[in-house]
Every structure is written in structure tokens, then in C-alpha cells.
Structure 1
Amino acid sequence: MTIYATNGTRVYIGGPLAAKSADFVFADFSAQTALWTEIGEAEGLGTVGDTSTEITFDAIASQRTRRLKGARNAGTMEIVCGIDAKDEGQIAAIAAEKTPHDYAIKLVLNDAPAGGTPSERYFVAKVASAAEQFDTANSVMKLNISLWVNSNIVHVDAAEA
């Protein structure tokens, strides 16, 4: 078993890509190749992945709550960046927040085997917020980007050379 550090992971925003009722596959992101723009100065990437909504039913006779799985929700990914007014990825995320569209998002993990390629994650999300955080005198000013994930997460595994 091998584990990896988050450091070295990169996050990219692509162009608009509408959510769909079926799960996305890697090929659905092929038209984004020329559009990927790295969101620079990322400090934190938050979490992403499906959680089922809980549906409960309280049965009187058995005196037992039954649980069922409802709709799946891939969550909100909270990206924290040091503000860089000239960073093209931050500029793209701020612009995306002003639209109603879903955007293609790509993560490239820092887990490539020697000479190989790293794991990647792909999904679509609405940029729900792009808020500046200023804090105290000895702090770096931050851009907090919230992504409402509207699709499954497509996993591409790391590959040997």
C-alpha cells in the first residue's frame, strides 16, 4: 500500500460543460484539452465525492427506523488560494461564478510512479462563490472558491511508464 501527500496536486478549470443525467466518462472531457487553466496558489482543496441522502421510515410495529438511500450528492469542494489578481485560473473561476453554467474541473494528483503519469479526477461543477478573505495583519489574503459538484467523479488511475 502506498499513500501520497496532497502537495503537488494541481486543480484546473475548463470551459462550460453541462451536467447530464447519466454518469460522465473520461471521453466527455476530451473537448476541454485546450481550455484547461490551472487555478494557481492553491493552499487547500477540500473534499469531493458522493454521499447518499438518507431517507427514513419509522415502522410502528417493529419500533425501528429503516434507512434507505436517496439521491447522491457529490458535495461542495472548497478551494482556498492565496489571492493573485493576475492568475488566469483565479480570474476564470471568478468569471465562472458570475454565470449559471457548470464548468469542467480537473484535479491532477501528485502520485505518478517513476516515469509514469499521475491520477486524475474530472467532474462538472457550478462555481458557487469566489469570496476574498483578508483576516489579520500576519495573514495571506485568500480567495475561497466553492464548487457545487453536479456530476459523478471520473477517476483516471496513475499509470506506470
Structure 2
Amino acid sequence: MTIYATAGSKLYIGGVLAQQSADFVLADFSGETWVQINELENLGTLGDTSAEINFTSLSDKRTKRLKGARAAEPMQVIMGIDYADAGQQAVIAAEKEIHDYAFKVEFDDAPAGGTPSERYFIAKVASAYEAYDEANSVMKLNAALWVNSNVVRVDAAAP
């Protein structure tokens, strides 16, 4: 078993990418021009949760649980503010738009000479706000990504 640190992970924003009724596949992201979002401190969480549907049977006197629609919690991304960073500027611009954007996460888990794991998805940038905190803190840009698709997983691969 091998585990990896989050350190070294990268986040990228692409262009507008419309929702679709079928799950996304890797090829759906092949034409993207990616801009790295720098000074990441926290990538938050990424993944789906099914809504709970309850049904109580009178004869069984038992509540049964079913899985409903799937949705992802907002991905809370925290960055150290860098006014000159093109990725941060793209996030701020995307927050002002109504569209979904392509995103890519790249992990620092590549085997020697191989390629790293990646995650692809679309999301709306729901918020982009600054946090200043206390004197001995770095000013931060916080963004919430409303994930609106499945997450396409690409595992690390040996050469």
C-alpha cells in the first residue's frame, strides 16, 4: 500500500464547458487550455453524496432508505493572494459569470518517469472572496466551486 501527501498538488482552470446529460469522460477535456492556479493552501474535498429518500412501510414498521440524486459538496479552495497570478485572476473572472468551467487537479504521485493522478470536472465558481485574518497571517483568496459533473479519475501510471 502506498499513500501520498497532498503537498505538490496543482489546480488548473480551463474554459467554459457546458453541462451534459451523460457522464464526462477524459476526451471531453482534451481541447482545454489549462491555466494553473498558484499559491494553493487547501484544495478542500471532491466527490459525490447521494440524497436520502425515506419510505416508511406501515406493515413492516420500518423506514427504508433509498439513494436519490447525486450532488457534490462545494469544493472550498484556499489560496494565498497573488495579484499577478493568471489562475487566480481567472477564478475571480469566472465567479462573475453564470457558466461552468473545466477544472483539473493534478497530484504529486507519479511513479519514477511516469505520469501523476489527475481529476477532471466542471464547476461554477460560486464565490471568490478575500480573507485577511490576524497580523501574522497571509492574505487569502477563498473560492467555492460548485461541482456540476461527475469526477473523471485518471490514476498515476508507470512509464
TM-score by length of 2: 0.98
- The aligned length equals 159
What is the rounded CA distance, in whole Å, between the counterparts of 1:58 and 1:154 in structure 2?
Answer: 36
- SS of 2:22's partner is coil
Residue 57 (structure 1) aligns with: 55
CA apart distance, 1:19: 1.0
Question: Percent sequence identity over matched residues?
Answer: 65
Alignment match, 1:23:
23
Instruction: State the distance in 1 between where 2:59 and 2:140 align.
Output: 55
RMSD between aligned alpha carbons?
0.7
**Distance (whole Å) between structure 2 residues aligned to residue 121 and residue 157 of structure 1:** 9
The one-letter amino acid of 1:45's match is L
Matches within 5 A, 1:1-161: 1-32=1-32, 35-161=33-159
Q: Deviation digits for residues 47-76 of structure 1, max 9, x if unmatched?
A: 011110000112222221110000011221
Give the residue type in structure 1 aligned to 2:24: F
SS of match in other structure, 1:31: coil
Give the superposition deviation at 1:159. 0.7
- 1:73-119 Cα shifts (integer Å, max 9, x gaps): 12211100001111100000000000000000000011100110001
Structure 2 distance, partners of 1:14, 1:57, is: 42
State how far apart, in whole Å, the 2-side matches of 1:104 and 1:50 are: 17
The whole-number CA distance in structure 2 between the counterparts of 1:143 and 1:4 is: 26
Between the aligned partners of 2:3 and 2:129, the Cα distance in structure 1 is: 32
* Matches of 1:63 and 1:110, distance apart in 2: 51
Partner of 2:31, secondary structure, is helix
Supply the distance in 1 between the matched residues of 2:130 and 2:136 (Cα, whole angstroms): 16
